[in-house]
């Protein structure tokens, strides 16, 4: 059967859901959203939510252990069964019946099934064809990328889906990839009792972040007993009975009973009918309105456009695209590689904007101010002297903040102030009037401004330029 609606959304992950709800609420549009699996997408069931549920109990325990008085009261171990049961409740036992009412309350029509484009404005779901009067929005997300390593496809490797929903703690967990997913899962399962090994081809964990972030995290993982192998590639994978062996290019090998592949993501566009509208499979290129160039009726939001593979970026793009479909003159500026990002390990790593190296490579007159994250009175309540570095990156020509990275216990909530300062391009002179409360860890901002001022005075006296100085 063929029928018309205003907008067809393909994929009910966080990006698709938010866009559909906004179009319906703000524009009274008739919206149909097609989902082939669970409403809520990868994030709710196999990614953000279960991974944080697995990480948080050990983080709380460690945090208590850093505070004398509380430490003595929590000398026991994690209750693995209770941790997994709480994870199951958080993902609602892999049912989406708690998410669907949100769409229903906004009069968004949910169509279950696999959607494929079938020419301009037409989306086929089984025997039905939905025809979009205004727009089709692709929000199909990404899946785990399996690299072409000999033997890997045959050993039953896990991706994020299996590791976040596992019902038992692996004995020996091998993790291929030291990016966000790899380090979070290595720490989560090591905290629950697994012996974990992380293999990363680059010379540091989290290679896109400031170098100290990967180094400090590596030290924390090693204290937990995780073996970290950086600067080495996996060359082959074999299985003998229960044992999986990963051969490394330096001739070594590592063995385990489970192998998690976490080396990147691929867009789920292979079976989407993109060829029917003359587009190649792969990440879908979009402009700043999230519209596909040359296709005025077609938008792509969330992971699938490859601009920033994070839930909050996808939700932001959803708001921009919805407003554009509703006729507003709007553009996305808050996503992309500088979008805020949090790695929920212990120590947490929270970063926004550019790293010093990226800024210098881009020709910006950049200076970094490095501070101990624990260098405030407020931080003493989170474990006095805990390791962790904070870096503020300043454009010294414009005297604005262009990047910030915080490493330390529970630093995620410090990030948004930096995001605001960067997005609003707040002059540093103005920031001096944003007074942090005492005793909060936000007094890091005072320390930063004092250090920057001190550096500037010293530089002026020495009669040299500030560019590229890293303290
Ligand atoms: C382990 C892990 C942890 C993560 N943790 C975080 C975190 O803490 N914070 C964060 O910001 N990000 C995190 N991410 C990233 C986050 O999960 C993604 O950025 C987010 O899910 C992308 O949302 P989306 O709506 O674009 O796609 P998805 O959430 O992938 O949703 C896409 C939906 O489309 C459906 N679909 C696909 N193809 C079709 C089709 N042809 N027809 C119908 N339906 C279809 C899928 O079934 C799915 O439900 C994590 C990722 C992983 C792997």
390: β partners: 371, 406
- From the CA of 46, how far away is ligand 1's center (Å)? 8
d(CA 198, CA 187) in angstroms, rounded, equals 10
For strands 389-395 and 366-372, give the pairing.
antiparallel
Confidence of residue 463 (pLDDT cuts 50, 70, 90): low
Rounded to an integer, the average pLDDT of 2-17 is 98
Per-residue three-class SS string for 372-401:
ECCCCCHHHHHCCCCCCEEEEEEECCCCEE
The residue behind tokens 């303290």 is: 471
Write out pLDDT tens, residues 207-227.
Answer: 999 999 999 999 999 999 999
Residues with CB under 6 A from ligand 1: 10-16, 34-38, 41-43, 47-48, 51-52, 114-115, 139-141, 160, 164, 181, 268, 272, 302-304, 309-312, 314
Q: Tokens for 406, please give them.
A: 């915080």
Q: Tokens for 278, please give them.
A: 């003359």
pLDDT of res. 467: 44
- For residue 291, give the DSSP letter: B
Indicate which residue's Cα is closest to atom 30 of ligand 1: 141
d(CA 362, CA 365) in angstroms, rounded, equals 9
Question: Which mutation among 13, 44, 111 tests ligand 1's pocket best, with the greatest number of atoms within 8 A of CB?
Answer: 13
Write out pLDDT tens, residues 95-125.
Answer: 999 999 999 999 999 999 999 999 999 999 9
Q: Are 418 and 356 in contact (CB under 8 A)?
A: no
d(CA 401, CA 396) in angstroms, rounded, equals 9
pLDDT of res. 461: 76
The minimum-distance atom of ligand 1 relative to the CA of 48 is 5
**Residue 362: C-alpha distances to residues 151, 288, 365, 395 (Å):** 40, 21, 9, 12
Confidence of residue 464 (pLDDT cuts 50, 70, 90): low
Write out pLDDT tens, residues 412-429.
Answer: 999 999 999 999 999 999
**Residue 137: C-alpha distances to residues 18, 64, 110, 113, 322 (Å):** 12, 46, 14, 16, 9
pLDDT of res. 206: 98
- From the CA of 12, how far away is ligand 1's center (Å)? 9
- How remote is the C-alpha of 287 from its chain's centroid? 22
Write out pLDDT tens, residues 26-66.
Answer: 988 999 999 999 999 999 999 999 999 999 999 999 999 99
Query: Residue 353: left if φ>0, alpha if ψ -120 to 50, beta else—which one?
Result: left
416 Cβ contact list (under 8 Å, min separation 6): 340
pTM for the structure as a whole = 0.96
- From the CA of 41, how far away is ligand 1's center (Å)? 5
Is pLDDT above 50 for 261?
A: yes
Quote the mean pLDDT of the chain: 95
415 Cβ contact list (under 8 Å, min separation 6): 340, 342, 350, 351, 352, 404, 406
Backbone angles phi, psi at 37, to 5 degrees: -130, -105
- From the CA of 304, how far away is ligand 1's center (Å)? 9
């Amino acid at each position: 059967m063929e029928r018309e609606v205003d907008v067809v959304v393909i994929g009910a992950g966080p990006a698709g859901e938010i866009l559909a709800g906004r179009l319906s609420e703000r524009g009274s549009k008739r919206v149909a959203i097609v989902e082939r699996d669970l409403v809520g997408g990868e994030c709710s069931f196999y990614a953000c939510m279960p991974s944080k549920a697995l990480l948080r109990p050990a983080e709380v325990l460690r945090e208590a252990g850093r505070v004398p008085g509380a430490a003595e009261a929590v000398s026991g171990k994690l209750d693995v069964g209770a941790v997994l049961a709480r994870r199951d409740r958080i993902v609602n036992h892999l049912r989406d019946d708690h998410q669907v009412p949100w769409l229903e309350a906004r009069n968004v029509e949910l169509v279950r099934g696999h959607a494929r484009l079938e020419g301009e404005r037409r989306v086929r779901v089984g025997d039905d064809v939905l025809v979009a009067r205004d727009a089709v929005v692709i929000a199909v997300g990404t899946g785990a990328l399996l690299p072409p390593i000999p033997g890997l496809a045959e050993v039953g490797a896990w991706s994020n889906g299996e590791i976040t929903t596992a019902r038992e703690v692996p004995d020996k967990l091998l993790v291929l990839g030291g990016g966000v997913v790899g380090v979070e899962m290595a720490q989560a399962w090591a905290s629950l009792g697994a012996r974990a090994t992380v293999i990363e081809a680059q010379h540091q964990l989290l290679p896109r972040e400031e170098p100290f972030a990967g180094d400090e995290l590596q030290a924390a993982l090693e204290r937990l007993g995780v073996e970290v192998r950086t600067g080495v590639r996996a060359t082959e994978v074999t299985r003998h009975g229960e044992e999986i062996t990963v051969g490394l290019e330096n001739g070594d090998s590592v063995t385990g009973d489970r192998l998690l592949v976490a080396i990147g993501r691929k867009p789920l566009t292979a079976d989407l009918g993109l060829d029917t509208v003359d587009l190649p499979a792969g990440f879908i290129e979009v402009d700043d309105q999230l519209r596909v160039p040359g296709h005025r009726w077609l938008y792509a939001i969330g992971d699938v456009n490859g601009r920033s593979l994070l839930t909050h970026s996808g939700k932001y793009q959803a708001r921009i695209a919805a407003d554009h479909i509703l006729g507003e003159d709007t553009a996305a500026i808050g996503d992309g590689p500088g979008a805020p990002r949090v790695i929920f390990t212990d120590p947490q790593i929270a970063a926004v904007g550019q790293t010093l190296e990226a800024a210098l490579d881009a020709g910006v007159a950049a200076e970094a101010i490095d501070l101990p994250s624990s260098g405030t009175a407020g931080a003493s309540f989170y474990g006095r002297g805990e390791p962790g570095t904070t870096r503020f990156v300043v454009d010294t020509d414009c005297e604005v903040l262009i990047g910030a990275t915080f490493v330390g216990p529970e630093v995620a909530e410090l990030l948004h102030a930096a995001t605001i300062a960067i997005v609003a391009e707040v002059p540093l002179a103005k920031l001096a009037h944003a007074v942090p409360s005492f005793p909060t860890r936000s007094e890091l901002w005072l320390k930063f401004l004092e250090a920057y001022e001190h550096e500037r005075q010293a530089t002026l006296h020495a009669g040299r330029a500030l560019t590229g100085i890293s303290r």
